[in-house]
């Protein structure tokens, strides 16, 4: 019967496409998804300095945002990824997708991210509250940056719903500040430094003494891949730990060390001097994080209607720390 045959062909094609997606995951390469920014430095160092020389083939895949990286790791198109902690990740874990958060990636201070248009600061905008109704740049929705903006706004009585959010990639925020397309943004290094250099942006908030850095991004991988390649996964974890320690070395001076800056320049595609001038991020040499931020993030995400579950995930539920623990044990605590 011709009609059913035509249908079978169509169905087979569909299955083949899906299978091809799955088959790609079985290849021996470790594909790592990243967003081009300094925050992902640990991934760059892990790949170039510790995995490749050990004979592990690595493919760095540049993607625009956390949702893309999260979904591609969940489907197995990528093995490892990093992203700001946000709804996509939370929902993926809640939906029991094969994605495991394994460790924090970087920490930072809101004050280092919050950048205001220089031309407007001191005139139209004298305080955070003056941003009401104005355009503010974020690189994506439902991710850590949205929470960070909300946190900054709350300090002066506003919430994220009070501003006009404009989504654009980090590099684009610098010319956007210049032209006035946005009045402020949550921008990751080295771009705020670039904005300051060019005289188009200013970071008006100062860190209170003794402030603790907040976990912003996290690293994750495909759980099925990790289970099926336990040895390889462990090697990746150890390499990751080493990379993070390279950055956290010397009280955080690793962030401006030449050999690390080299790699940041390579992947984040920015100038070396800029990276060295940039305010350093923070990394934890034992890959530990304070869980209270996670609650706050989930709360905002729930308020904005991004979460598909109601009971918040605890750190233990969200992260799978067994690999980290094993790696820390092997290399010893710092």
Partner 1 sequence: MTAVAVPLGLLALWEVLARLAVLSPRYFPPPSRVGAVLVESFAEGDLGGETLVTLTRLALAFALATVPAVPLGLLMGMARPVRAAMEPYIAVLFPVPKIALLPFLLILLGVGEPAFVLTGAISAFFQIIISTLAGVQTMDPRLLDVGRNYGAHGVRLFRTVILPAALPAIFTGLRLGLGLALVTIVAVEFIAAKSGLGHLVYRHWQTLSTPQMYGAFALVGALGLLLTRGLRAVQARTLVWQEDPGRL
Partner 2 sequence: MLVLGWEAAVAAGLLREAFFPRPSTVLVHARRLIADGTLLGHAGPTLVRIAWAFSLAAGLGVTVGLAMGLWRRLREGLDPVFAVVYPIPSILFLPLVSFVVPRGEAALVLTTAVTSFFLIAFTTTEGVRQIDPLVVEAARHYGARGRRLFTAVLLPGALPYIFTGLRLGLGYALIVVVAVEIVNASRGLGALLWLSWQVLKVEDMYATFFVIAALGAVLSYGLAALRTHLLPWAQDVADR
Provide the binding-site residues for partner 2, judged by CB under 8 A: 7, 11, 15, 18, 65, 67, 70-71, 74-75, 86-88, 91-92, 95-97, 140-142, 301, 305-308
Among the listed ranges 50-58, 66-74, 218-226, 295-303, the one in contact with partner 1 (CB under 8 A) is: 66-74
307 binds, among partner 2, partner 1, none (CB under 5 to 8 A by kind): partner 2
The least distance separating partner 2 from the CB of residue 87, rounded to whole angstroms, comes to 4
Q: Is 286 or 301 the residue whose CB approaches partner 2 more closely?
A: 301
175 binds partner 1 (CB under 8 A): yes
Contact flag: residue 64 with partner 1 (CB under 8 A): yes
Contact 182, 117 (CB under 8 A): yes
Q: Within positions 180 to 219, which residues make up the interface with partner 1, using CB under 8 A?
A: 180-181
- As beta bridge partners, residue 117 has 201
Is residue 255 within 8 Å of residue 281, measured between CB atoms? yes
Q: Considering the complex, state which of residue 143 and residue 278 has its C-beta at the smaller distance from partner 2.
A: 143
Distance from the Cα of residue 78 to its chain's centroid: 15
Residue 89 CB, shortest distance to partner 2, in Å, is 8
CB of 108 to partner 2, least distance (A): 22
Which of residues 76 and 254 has its CB atom nearest to partner 1 in the complex? 76
Q: Which of partner 2, partner 1, none does residue 97 bind (CB under 5 to 8 Å by kind)?
A: partner 2
**Can residue 168 be called a binding residue for partner 1 (CB under 8 A)?**
yes
| Interface residue with partner 1, options 111, 162, 172, 197 (CB under 8 A) | 172
Query: C-beta of 294: minimal distance to partner 2 in Å?
Result: 16
Return the residues of window 214-233 that contact partner 1 according to CB under 8 A.
Answer: none
For partner 1, the closer of residues 11 and 292 by Cβ is 11
Q: Note the residues at the interface with partner 1 (CB under 8 A).
A: 1-4, 6-7, 17-18, 21, 63-64, 68, 71-72, 75, 77-78, 166, 168, 172, 175-176, 179-181
């Amino acid at each position: 019967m011709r009609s059913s045959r035509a249908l079978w062909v169509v169905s087979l094609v569909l299955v083949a496409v899906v299978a091809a997606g799955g088959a790609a995951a079985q290849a021996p390469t470790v594909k790592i998804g990243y967003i081009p920014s300094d925050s992902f430095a640990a991934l760059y160092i892990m790949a170039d300095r510790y995995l490749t020389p050990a004979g592990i083939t690595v493919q760095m895949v540049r993607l625009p945002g956390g949702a893309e990286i999260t979904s591609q790791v969940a489907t197995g198109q990528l093995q490892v990824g990093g992203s700001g902690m946000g709804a996509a990740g939370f929902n993926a874990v809640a939906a029991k997708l094969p994605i495991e958060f394994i460790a924090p990636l970087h920490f930072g201070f809101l004050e280092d991210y919050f950048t205001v248009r220089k031309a407007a600061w001191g005139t139209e905008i004298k305080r955070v509250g003056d941003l009401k109704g104005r355009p503010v740049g974020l690189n994506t929705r439902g991710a850590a940056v949205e929470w960070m903006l909300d946190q900054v706004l709350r300090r002066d009585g506003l919430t994220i719903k009070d501003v006009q959010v404009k989504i654009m990639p980090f590099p684009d925020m610098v010319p956007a500040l210049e032209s006035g397309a946005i009045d402020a943004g949550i921008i990751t290094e080295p771009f705020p430094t670039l904005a300051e250099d060019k005289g188009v942006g200013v970071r008006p908030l100062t860190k209170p003494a003794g402030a603790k850095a907040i976990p912003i991004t996290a690293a994750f991988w495909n759980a099925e891949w990790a289970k099926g390649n336990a040895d390889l996964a462990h090697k990746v974890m150890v390499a990751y730990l080493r990379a993070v320690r390279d950055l956290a070395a010397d009280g955080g001076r690793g962030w401006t060390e030449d050999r690390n800056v080299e790699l940041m320049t390579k992947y984040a595609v920015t100038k070396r001097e800029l990276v060295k001038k940039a305010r350093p991020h923070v990394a934890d040499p034992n890959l530990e994080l304070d869980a209270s931020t996670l609650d706050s993030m989930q709360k905002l995400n729930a308020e904005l209607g991004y979460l598909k579950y109601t009971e918040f995930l605890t750190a233990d539920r969200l992260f799978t720390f067994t690999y980290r623990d094993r790696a820390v044990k092997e290399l010893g605590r710092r």
